[in-house]
Structure 1
Protein backbone atom coordinates (compact mmCIF):
# COMPACT_ATOMS: atom_id res chain seq x y z
CA UNK A 1 0.00 0.00 0.00
CA UNK A 2 1.30 3.45 -0.86
CA UNK A 3 2.41 5.56 2.08
CA UNK A 4 1.61 9.26 1.84
CA UNK A 5 4.70 11.44 1.56
CA UNK A 6 3.81 13.40 4.68
CA UNK A 7 2.95 10.36 6.81
CA UNK A 8 5.09 7.58 5.37
CA UNK A 9 8.81 7.15 5.26
CA UNK A 10 10.79 9.42 7.61
CA UNK A 11 12.45 12.54 6.33
CA UNK A 12 16.20 13.00 6.41
CA UNK A 13 17.29 13.23 10.01
CA UNK A 14 20.21 13.36 12.45
CA UNK A 15 21.72 16.68 13.49
CA UNK A 16 20.28 20.15 13.09
CA UNK A 17 20.72 21.94 9.80
CA UNK A 18 24.05 23.79 9.89
CA UNK A 19 24.37 27.55 9.71
CA UNK A 20 24.27 29.21 6.31
CA UNK A 21 27.50 31.09 7.01
CA UNK A 22 31.13 30.14 7.42
CA UNK A 23 33.05 31.19 10.54
CA UNK A 24 34.20 34.35 8.73
CA UNK A 25 30.58 35.37 8.11
CA UNK A 26 30.51 34.63 4.39
CA UNK A 27 27.74 32.49 2.91
CA UNK A 28 28.77 28.85 2.78
CA UNK A 29 28.26 26.68 -0.29
CA UNK A 30 24.97 24.98 -1.03
CA UNK A 31 25.43 21.26 -0.32
CA UNK A 32 23.58 18.73 -2.47
CA UNK A 33 23.76 15.01 -1.77
CA UNK A 34 23.42 12.35 -4.46
CA UNK A 35 22.39 8.82 -3.53
CA UNK A 36 21.09 5.73 -5.28
CA UNK A 37 21.75 2.06 -6.03
CA UNK A 38 25.05 0.81 -7.44
CA UNK A 39 25.26 1.44 -11.19
CA UNK A 40 22.33 3.85 -11.38
CA UNK A 41 24.50 6.73 -12.59
CA UNK A 42 25.35 8.78 -9.50
CA UNK A 43 28.95 9.42 -10.50
CA UNK A 44 27.93 10.11 -14.09
CA UNK A 45 25.42 12.65 -12.76
CA UNK A 46 28.09 14.35 -10.66
CA UNK A 47 30.48 14.44 -13.62
CA UNK A 48 27.84 15.87 -15.96
CA UNK A 49 26.82 18.52 -13.43
CA UNK A 50 30.42 19.59 -12.98
CA UNK A 51 30.93 19.89 -16.75
CA UNK A 52 27.70 21.86 -17.17
CA UNK A 53 28.21 24.28 -14.27
CA UNK A 54 31.96 24.68 -13.75
CA UNK A 55 32.11 27.66 -16.11
CA UNK A 56 29.69 29.68 -14.00
CA UNK A 57 30.03 28.32 -10.46
CA UNK A 58 32.77 27.46 -7.99
CA UNK A 59 32.19 23.72 -7.35
CA UNK A 60 33.76 20.97 -5.24
CA UNK A 61 32.92 17.27 -4.82
CA UNK A 62 33.10 14.77 -1.97
CA UNK A 63 32.71 11.10 -2.93
CA UNK A 64 32.03 8.14 -0.65
CA UNK A 65 33.15 4.55 -1.19
CA UNK A 66 33.41 1.76 1.35
CA UNK A 67 37.06 0.77 0.86
CA UNK A 68 38.29 2.58 -2.25
CA UNK A 69 38.53 6.00 -3.93
CA UNK A 70 37.08 4.66 -7.18
CA UNK A 71 34.42 7.33 -7.73
CA UNK A 72 36.84 10.17 -6.97
CA UNK A 73 39.42 8.63 -9.29
CA UNK A 74 36.81 8.41 -12.08
CA UNK A 75 36.11 12.12 -11.71
CA UNK A 76 39.81 12.90 -11.67
CA UNK A 77 40.51 10.78 -14.77
CA UNK A 78 37.76 12.60 -16.61
CA UNK A 79 39.06 15.98 -15.46
CA UNK A 80 35.62 17.29 -14.54
CA UNK A 81 37.22 19.60 -11.95
CA UNK A 82 40.77 20.42 -10.85
CA UNK A 83 42.14 17.72 -8.55
CA UNK A 84 42.15 19.97 -5.49
CA UNK A 85 38.37 20.33 -5.75
CA UNK A 86 37.68 16.57 -5.45
CA UNK A 87 38.13 14.56 -2.26
CA UNK A 88 37.12 11.08 -1.15
CA UNK A 89 35.80 9.58 2.07
CA UNK A 90 36.36 5.86 2.66
CA UNK A 91 33.43 4.92 4.87
CA UNK A 92 34.67 1.46 5.88
CA UNK A 93 31.06 0.46 6.53
CA UNK A 94 27.53 0.79 5.16
CA UNK A 95 27.28 4.08 3.25
CA UNK A 96 24.32 5.07 5.43
CA UNK A 97 26.74 5.45 8.32
CA UNK A 98 28.76 8.23 6.74
CA UNK A 99 25.95 10.21 5.12
CA UNK A 100 23.22 9.88 7.73
CA UNK A 101 24.29 8.46 11.10
CA UNK A 102 27.86 9.67 11.72
CA UNK A 103 28.45 12.47 9.25
CA UNK A 104 31.66 13.73 10.84
CA UNK A 105 34.05 12.50 8.10
CA UNK A 106 31.93 13.96 5.31
CA UNK A 107 31.31 17.21 7.17
CA UNK A 108 35.04 17.60 7.77
CA UNK A 109 35.75 16.92 4.08
CA UNK A 110 33.22 19.57 3.01
CA UNK A 111 34.59 22.14 5.43
CA UNK A 112 38.20 21.38 4.43
CA UNK A 113 37.33 21.95 0.77
CA UNK A 114 35.72 25.29 1.55
CA UNK A 115 38.80 26.31 3.50
CA UNK A 116 41.25 25.14 0.83
CA UNK A 117 39.60 26.27 -2.41
CA UNK A 118 36.72 28.45 -1.26
CA UNK A 119 34.65 30.43 -1.41
CA UNK A 120 32.47 27.82 -3.10
CA UNK A 121 29.00 28.09 -4.58
CA UNK A 122 28.17 24.37 -4.63
CA UNK A 123 29.44 21.17 -3.00
CA UNK A 124 28.20 17.84 -4.36
CA UNK A 125 28.35 14.95 -1.88
CA UNK A 126 28.02 11.55 -3.56
CA UNK A 127 27.03 8.57 -1.44
CA UNK A 128 28.50 5.15 -1.97
CA UNK A 129 26.20 2.86 -3.97
CA UNK A 130 23.36 1.66 -1.81
CA UNK A 131 19.74 0.55 -1.90
CA UNK A 132 16.41 2.39 -1.86
CA UNK A 133 16.72 3.32 1.82
CA UNK A 134 19.65 5.74 1.48
CA UNK A 135 19.04 9.23 2.82
CA UNK A 136 21.32 12.08 3.86
CA UNK A 137 21.38 13.85 7.19
CA UNK A 138 20.10 17.42 7.15
CA UNK A 139 23.25 18.26 9.05
CA UNK A 140 25.31 17.33 6.00
CA UNK A 141 23.35 18.43 2.91
CA UNK A 142 20.71 21.01 2.16
CA UNK A 143 18.98 19.01 -0.59
CA UNK A 144 19.10 15.43 -1.83
CA UNK A 145 19.00 13.89 -5.30
CA UNK A 146 18.21 10.18 -5.64
CA UNK A 147 19.22 8.43 -8.86
CA UNK A 148 17.63 5.20 -10.11
CA UNK A 149 17.66 3.68 -13.59
CA UNK A 150 15.36 1.61 -15.78
CA UNK A 151 17.64 -1.43 -15.97
CA UNK A 152 15.92 -3.00 -12.96
CA UNK A 153 12.54 -2.70 -14.67
CA UNK A 154 9.64 -0.35 -14.19
CA UNK A 155 8.88 -1.71 -10.71
CA UNK A 156 11.60 0.33 -8.97
CA UNK A 157 9.57 3.49 -8.21
CA UNK A 158 6.68 1.31 -7.04
CA UNK A 159 8.94 -0.27 -4.41
CA UNK A 160 9.30 3.11 -2.75
CA UNK A 161 11.72 3.52 0.12
CA UNK A 162 12.95 6.80 1.63
CA UNK A 163 15.29 7.56 -1.26
CA UNK A 164 12.55 7.32 -3.88
CA UNK A 165 9.81 8.83 -1.75
CA UNK A 166 11.48 11.75 0.04
CA UNK A 167 14.44 12.94 -2.06
CA UNK A 168 14.11 16.53 -3.19
CA UNK A 169 14.65 15.33 -6.79
CA UNK A 170 14.25 11.81 -8.17
CA UNK A 171 16.27 11.13 -11.32
CA UNK A 172 15.22 8.18 -13.50
CA UNK A 173 18.29 7.53 -15.64
CA UNK A 174 19.01 5.38 -18.73
CA UNK A 175 15.60 5.92 -20.30
CA UNK A 176 17.13 4.87 -23.63
CA UNK A 177 17.32 1.30 -22.28
CA UNK A 178 13.59 1.05 -21.56
CA UNK A 179 12.66 -0.82 -24.78
CA UNK A 180 15.51 -3.30 -24.26
CA UNK A 181 14.53 -4.24 -20.71
CA UNK A 182 10.77 -4.05 -21.18
CA UNK A 183 10.34 -1.06 -18.88
CA UNK A 184 7.29 1.16 -19.34
CA UNK A 185 8.29 4.79 -18.66
CA UNK A 186 4.64 5.74 -18.29
CA UNK A 187 4.24 3.21 -15.49
CA UNK A 188 7.40 4.52 -13.83
CA UNK A 189 6.11 8.10 -14.03
CA UNK A 190 2.74 7.10 -12.56
CA UNK A 191 4.27 5.13 -9.71
CA UNK A 192 6.86 7.81 -8.95
CA UNK A 193 4.09 10.40 -8.70
CA UNK A 194 2.12 8.09 -6.38
CA UNK A 195 5.16 7.75 -4.11
CA UNK A 196 6.28 11.39 -4.23
CA UNK A 197 3.21 13.57 -4.59
CA UNK A 198 4.32 16.95 -5.91
CA UNK A 199 8.08 16.35 -5.49
CA UNK A 200 9.83 16.56 -8.88
CA UNK A 201 10.99 13.64 -11.06
CA UNK A 202 13.44 13.97 -13.96
CA UNK A 203 13.48 11.29 -16.67
CA UNK A 204 16.71 11.34 -18.66
CA UNK A 205 19.55 9.46 -20.27
CA UNK A 206 22.87 10.92 -19.21
CA UNK A 207 24.54 9.51 -22.32
CA UNK A 208 22.32 11.66 -24.54
CA UNK A 209 23.44 15.12 -25.65
CA UNK A 210 22.54 17.50 -22.81
CA UNK A 211 20.92 14.64 -20.90
CA UNK A 212 21.90 16.38 -17.68
CA UNK A 213 19.80 19.45 -18.56
CA UNK A 214 16.78 18.73 -16.31
CA UNK A 215 19.06 18.08 -13.33
CA UNK A 216 21.10 21.20 -14.06
CA UNK A 217 17.93 23.28 -14.20
CA UNK A 218 16.85 21.93 -10.82
CA UNK A 219 20.27 22.67 -9.28
CA UNK A 220 20.11 26.24 -10.57
CA UNK A 221 16.69 26.63 -8.93
CA UNK A 222 18.11 25.41 -5.62
CA UNK A 223 21.03 27.83 -5.88
CA UNK A 224 18.73 30.74 -6.65
CA UNK A 225 16.61 29.95 -3.59
CA UNK A 226 19.75 29.48 -1.46
CA UNK A 227 21.29 32.82 -2.38
CA UNK A 228 17.98 34.68 -2.09
CA UNK A 229 17.92 34.14 1.70
CA UNK A 230 19.94 36.83 3.54
CA UNK A 231 22.80 35.56 5.70
Structure 2
Protein backbone atom coordinates (compact mmCIF):
# COMPACT_ATOMS: atom_id res chain seq x y z
CA UNK A 1 0.00 0.00 0.00
CA UNK A 2 1.50 3.32 -1.04
CA UNK A 3 0.72 5.76 1.71
CA UNK A 4 2.24 9.07 0.64
CA UNK A 5 1.53 9.76 -2.99
CA UNK A 6 -1.33 10.81 -5.19
CA UNK A 7 -1.85 9.79 -8.80
CA UNK A 8 -2.05 11.84 -11.96
CA UNK A 9 -4.82 11.61 -14.56
CA UNK A 10 -3.21 8.49 -16.02
CA UNK A 11 -2.94 6.71 -12.66
CA UNK A 12 0.82 7.20 -12.35
CA UNK A 13 2.10 7.93 -8.83
CA UNK A 14 2.92 11.54 -8.03
CA UNK A 15 4.81 11.93 -4.76
CA UNK A 16 3.67 14.50 -2.24
CA UNK A 17 6.02 16.07 0.24
CA UNK A 18 3.91 15.68 3.40
CA UNK A 19 3.10 12.42 5.17
CA UNK A 20 -0.44 11.70 6.42
CA UNK A 21 0.54 12.75 9.95
CA UNK A 22 1.64 16.18 8.68
CA UNK A 23 5.40 15.58 8.79
CA UNK A 24 7.49 16.34 5.73
CA UNK A 25 8.67 13.07 4.27
CA UNK A 26 12.27 12.31 3.42
CA UNK A 27 13.92 13.67 0.30
CA UNK A 28 14.39 10.76 -2.12
CA UNK A 29 17.45 10.71 -4.38
CA UNK A 30 18.03 7.96 -6.93
CA UNK A 31 21.46 6.82 -8.10
CA UNK A 32 21.72 5.08 -11.46
CA UNK A 33 24.47 4.19 -13.89
CA UNK A 34 26.27 1.31 -15.62
CA UNK A 35 27.59 -1.76 -13.82
CA UNK A 36 30.82 -1.01 -11.99
CA UNK A 37 30.62 2.76 -12.26
CA UNK A 38 30.71 3.22 -8.47
CA UNK A 39 27.08 3.66 -7.46
CA UNK A 40 27.29 1.53 -4.31
CA UNK A 41 30.64 3.07 -3.34
CA UNK A 42 29.09 6.53 -3.77
CA UNK A 43 26.14 5.57 -1.56
CA UNK A 44 28.53 4.20 1.07
CA UNK A 45 30.67 7.35 1.01
CA UNK A 46 27.62 9.60 1.30
CA UNK A 47 26.33 7.60 4.26
CA UNK A 48 29.66 7.85 6.07
CA UNK A 49 29.78 11.62 5.65
CA UNK A 50 26.11 12.42 6.32
CA UNK A 51 25.08 9.88 8.97
CA UNK A 52 26.26 12.11 11.82
CA UNK A 53 24.04 15.01 10.77
CA UNK A 54 21.04 13.41 9.04
CA UNK A 55 18.60 10.55 9.52
CA UNK A 56 19.27 8.31 6.50
CA UNK A 57 17.82 5.26 4.78
CA UNK A 58 18.97 3.28 1.74
CA UNK A 59 17.10 1.07 -0.73
CA UNK A 60 19.27 -0.99 -3.10
CA UNK A 61 18.28 -2.84 -6.27
CA UNK A 62 19.77 -6.00 -7.75
CA UNK A 63 18.21 -8.32 -10.29
CA UNK A 64 18.46 -11.65 -8.45
CA UNK A 65 20.47 -10.97 -5.30
CA UNK A 66 20.80 -8.45 -2.46
CA UNK A 67 24.53 -8.02 -3.04
CA UNK A 68 24.65 -4.22 -2.93
CA UNK A 69 22.77 -4.09 0.36
CA UNK A 70 25.11 -6.74 1.77
CA UNK A 71 28.11 -4.62 0.66
CA UNK A 72 26.74 -1.67 2.64
CA UNK A 73 25.93 -3.85 5.65
CA UNK A 74 29.43 -5.38 5.72
CA UNK A 75 30.92 -1.90 5.80
CA UNK A 76 28.50 -0.79 8.53
CA UNK A 77 27.73 2.49 6.79
CA UNK A 78 24.31 2.55 8.52
CA UNK A 79 22.53 0.38 11.08
CA UNK A 80 21.02 -2.72 9.39
CA UNK A 81 17.44 -1.59 9.90
CA UNK A 82 18.12 1.48 7.73
CA UNK A 83 19.18 -0.55 4.67
CA UNK A 84 16.72 -2.59 2.63
CA UNK A 85 17.02 -4.43 -0.67
CA UNK A 86 14.77 -5.04 -3.66
CA UNK A 87 15.44 -8.03 -5.92
CA UNK A 88 13.85 -6.79 -9.13
CA UNK A 89 13.88 -10.03 -11.12
CA UNK A 90 13.92 -7.92 -14.28
CA UNK A 91 15.95 -5.27 -16.08
CA UNK A 92 16.96 -2.67 -13.49
CA UNK A 93 15.36 0.27 -15.31
CA UNK A 94 11.97 -1.47 -15.19
CA UNK A 95 11.86 -1.32 -11.39
CA UNK A 96 12.93 2.33 -11.15
CA UNK A 97 11.02 3.76 -14.11
CA UNK A 98 8.24 1.54 -15.43
CA UNK A 99 6.83 -0.49 -12.54
CA UNK A 100 8.09 1.24 -9.42
CA UNK A 101 5.72 -0.47 -7.00
CA UNK A 102 8.33 -2.67 -5.26
CA UNK A 103 10.73 0.23 -4.78
CA UNK A 104 8.03 2.64 -3.70
CA UNK A 105 6.76 0.18 -1.12
CA UNK A 106 10.31 -0.40 0.15
CA UNK A 107 10.89 3.34 0.54
CA UNK A 108 7.59 3.88 2.31
CA UNK A 109 8.04 0.88 4.60
CA UNK A 110 11.55 2.03 5.51
CA UNK A 111 10.36 5.50 6.43
CA UNK A 112 7.46 4.09 8.42
CA UNK A 113 9.74 1.69 10.31
CA UNK A 114 12.68 3.92 11.22
CA UNK A 115 11.46 7.41 10.39
CA UNK A 116 11.28 10.26 10.49
CA UNK A 117 14.04 10.33 7.88
CA UNK A 118 15.75 13.27 6.23
CA UNK A 119 17.06 11.44 3.16
CA UNK A 120 16.47 8.13 1.38
CA UNK A 121 18.98 7.01 -1.25
CA UNK A 122 17.58 4.62 -3.86
CA UNK A 123 20.31 2.81 -5.77
CA UNK A 124 19.40 1.22 -9.10
CA UNK A 125 20.92 -2.02 -10.26
CA UNK A 126 23.64 -1.54 -12.86
CA UNK A 127 22.07 -0.53 -16.16
CA UNK A 128 22.89 1.26 -19.41
CA UNK A 129 22.87 4.91 -20.47
CA UNK A 130 19.09 4.93 -20.92
CA UNK A 131 18.31 4.30 -17.24
CA UNK A 132 16.27 7.00 -15.52
CA UNK A 133 14.09 7.09 -12.41
CA UNK A 134 10.37 7.76 -12.36
CA UNK A 135 9.56 11.06 -10.68
CA UNK A 136 6.94 9.07 -8.84
CA UNK A 137 9.77 7.31 -7.01
CA UNK A 138 12.49 9.93 -6.45
CA UNK A 139 12.67 13.69 -6.20
CA UNK A 140 16.08 13.98 -7.86
CA UNK A 141 18.47 11.62 -9.59
CA UNK A 142 22.22 11.18 -9.83
CA UNK A 143 23.75 9.32 -12.76
CA UNK A 144 27.21 7.79 -12.20
CA UNK A 145 29.59 6.93 -15.03
CA UNK A 146 33.28 6.18 -14.74
CA UNK A 147 36.48 7.13 -16.49
CA UNK A 148 37.45 3.49 -17.00
CA UNK A 149 34.68 3.21 -19.57
CA UNK A 150 36.55 5.68 -21.77
CA UNK A 151 36.24 9.40 -22.39
CA UNK A 152 33.64 8.72 -25.08
CA UNK A 153 30.89 7.93 -22.56
CA UNK A 154 29.52 11.49 -22.11
CA UNK A 155 29.57 11.93 -25.89
CA UNK A 156 27.35 8.87 -26.30
CA UNK A 157 24.62 10.70 -24.38
CA UNK A 158 21.42 8.93 -23.45
CA UNK A 159 18.77 9.97 -20.91
CA UNK A 160 20.91 9.12 -17.91
CA UNK A 161 23.80 11.32 -19.03
CA UNK A 162 21.76 14.13 -20.51
CA UNK A 163 18.88 14.56 -18.08
CA UNK A 164 19.93 13.43 -14.58
CA UNK A 165 19.92 16.21 -12.01
CA UNK A 166 23.60 15.51 -11.34
CA UNK A 167 26.11 13.66 -13.52
CA UNK A 168 29.01 12.11 -11.61
CA UNK A 169 32.14 11.14 -13.57
CA UNK A 170 33.88 8.77 -11.19
CA UNK A 171 37.34 7.13 -10.93
CA UNK A 172 39.28 10.14 -12.19
CA UNK A 173 42.41 8.56 -10.68
CA UNK A 174 42.27 5.95 -13.45
CA UNK A 175 42.36 8.48 -16.31
CA UNK A 176 46.14 8.20 -16.94
CA UNK A 177 45.92 4.41 -16.88
CA UNK A 178 43.17 4.14 -19.49
CA UNK A 179 44.14 7.12 -21.63
CA UNK A 180 41.00 9.11 -20.85
CA UNK A 181 40.99 12.88 -21.26
CA UNK A 182 39.01 14.53 -18.46
CA UNK A 183 38.80 17.82 -20.36
CA UNK A 184 37.18 16.02 -23.28
CA UNK A 185 34.71 14.38 -20.90
CA UNK A 186 33.87 17.74 -19.32
CA UNK A 187 33.38 19.34 -22.73
CA UNK A 188 31.17 16.57 -24.07
CA UNK A 189 29.13 16.46 -20.86
CA UNK A 190 28.50 20.19 -21.21
CA UNK A 191 27.26 19.66 -24.77
CA UNK A 192 24.89 16.92 -23.61
CA UNK A 193 23.67 18.62 -20.42
CA UNK A 194 23.76 22.36 -20.94
CA UNK A 195 23.61 24.01 -17.52
CA UNK A 196 22.90 20.84 -15.54
CA UNK A 197 25.74 20.15 -13.09
CA UNK A 198 28.62 17.72 -13.61
CA UNK A 199 31.15 16.70 -10.94
CA UNK A 200 34.32 14.61 -11.12
CA UNK A 201 35.12 12.23 -8.28
CA UNK A 202 37.73 9.77 -7.15
CA UNK A 203 36.36 7.80 -4.24
CA UNK A 204 39.83 6.41 -3.64
CA UNK A 205 40.89 9.86 -2.47
CA UNK A 206 40.23 11.23 0.99
CA UNK A 207 36.84 12.98 0.93
CA UNK A 208 36.61 12.17 -2.78
CA UNK A 209 32.82 12.22 -2.52
CA UNK A 210 32.83 15.89 -1.41
CA UNK A 211 31.36 17.32 -4.67
CA UNK A 212 28.43 14.92 -4.48
CA UNK A 213 27.92 15.60 -0.78
CA UNK A 214 27.80 19.35 -1.44
CA UNK A 215 25.15 18.84 -4.12
CA UNK A 216 23.05 16.61 -1.84
CA UNK A 217 23.21 19.21 0.92
CA UNK A 218 21.98 21.86 -1.51
CA UNK A 219 19.02 19.67 -2.47
CA UNK A 220 18.24 19.02 1.19
CA UNK A 221 18.34 22.72 2.00
CA UNK A 222 15.88 23.44 -0.82
CA UNK A 223 13.66 20.53 0.28
CA UNK A 224 13.49 21.58 3.90
TM-score with structure 1 length normalisation?
0.92
Task: Measure, in 2, the Cα distance between the counterparts of 1:78 and 1:67.
Answer: 21
5+ unaligned residues in a row in structure 1: which ranges?
1-13
Runs of 4+ residues over 6 Å off in structure 1: none
Task: Measure, in 2, the Cα distance between the counterparts of 1:152 and 1:66.
Answer: 22
CA offsets 1:188-212 (integer angstroms, 9 cap, x no match): 0000000000000000101100000
1:187 matched to which residue of 2? 184
1:10 matched to which residue of 2? none
Q: Quick check: 1:21 aligned with 2:18?
A: yes
Query: In structure 2, which of residues 136, 140, 145 is the aligned counterpart of residue 139 of structure 1?
Result: 136
- Contact 1:63 / 1:87 at 8 angstroms: preserved in 2? yes
Query: In structure 2, which of residues 166, 171, 191 is the aligned counterpart of residue 174 of structure 1?
Result: 171
Cα displacement (A) at 1:179: 0.6
Task: Measure, in 1, the Cα distance between the counterparts of 2:214 and 2:159.
Answer: 23
Query: In structure 1, which of residues 30, 37, 41 is the aligned counterpart of residue 38 of structure 2?
Result: 41
Q: How does 1:1-231 map to 2 (within 5 A)?
A: 15-227=12-224
Task: Measure, in 2, the Cα distance between the counterparts of 1:38 and 1:132.
Answer: 11
- Contact 1:15 / 1:137 at 8 angstroms: preserved in 2? no
2:7 matched to which residue of 1? none
Task: Measure, in 2, the Cα distance between the counterparts of 1:16 and 1:64.
Answer: 20
Cα displacement (A) at 1:224: 0.3
Aligned CA RMSD, in angstroms, stands at: 0.8
Which protein, 1 or 2, shows the higher relative CO under an 8 Å CA cutoff with sep ≥ 6?
Answer: 1
The secondary structure found in structure 2 opposite 1:60 is strand
5+ unaligned residues in a row in structure 2: which ranges?
1-10
TM-score with structure 2 length normalisation?
0.94
Task: Measure, in 1, the Cα distance between the counterparts of 2:68 and 2:12.
Answer: 26
